[in-house]
Amino acid sequence: MSAESGLESGDITEAGDPYGAPALSVRYLEDDSLPAGDGLVPQHTRKFDPKEHKAKTRKMLALSALGVLALFHVGLVTLLACDVIELDELIGIIAASSGLQALTAVAFAFYFAKS
């Protein structure tokens, strides 16, 4: 650290930074007179629609759960086809994954019941 700042190595500044970085100006962050955007930030955004958001969220959750379940079963069948696991083990794994199957069923039922 420089002698001009009056800080020693390890001192904590107002911002809580042990390396002496300057504190953020709260006045600047709360200033309403900031200039208009120069194209980096869109000025006109569409309004948030909670119903549309909920519908999209339900759809994505249902499709994600279905995708995970499908990949899981494709992987199991691939392991069976490559003789990595036997049929009895496959049946046991599928039975043990009934929770994942039930979660997928509930997600789909929830999605279709609300749409």
- The verdict on 55 and 108 lying in the same domain is yes
Rounded to an integer, the average pLDDT of 6-27 is 54
CB 107 within 8 A of CB 61: yes
Is 69 a member of any domain? yes
Q: Given a cut of 50, is residue 30 above it in pLDDT? A: no
**Structure pTM?**
0.53
Q: How far, in Å, CA of 54 to CA of 62, rounded?
A: 12
Mean pLDDT of the chain: 75
Crossing angle of the two packed helices 50-81 and 87-96, in degrees rounded to 10: 160
Instruction: Output the CA angle 66-70-76, nearest 5 degrees.
Output: 150
Question: How many domains does the chain fold into?
Answer: 2
- The verdict on 1 and 54 lying in the same domain is no
Segments forming the whole domain that contains residue 1: 1-30
Is 35 a member of any domain? no
